[in-house]
């Protein structure tokens, strides 16, 4: 998924973490991009049965 912007004829970026709309920056560097990312490990702490 993160590599989609790095493939094909319409190359958007060489590194997925440099693509503006990718969550890869968060997962590779820990820095939030333009969209807030919730790590999947944090979701384990959310009570969903109420």
pTM beyond cutoff 0.75: no
Confidence category of residue 37, pLDDT binned at 50, 70, 90: confident
The per-residue pLDDT for range 21-36, each reduced to its tens digit, is 888 888 888 888 888 8
| Burial of 24 from C-beta contacts in 10 A (0-12 / 13-18 / 19+) | buried
């Amino acid at each position: 998924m993160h590599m989609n912007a790095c493939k094909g004829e319409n190359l958007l970026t060489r590194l997925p973490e440099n693509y503006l709309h990718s969550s890869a920056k968060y997962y590779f560097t820990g820095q939030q991009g333009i969209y807030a990312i919730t790590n999947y490990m944090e979701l384990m702490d959310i009570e969903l049965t109420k």
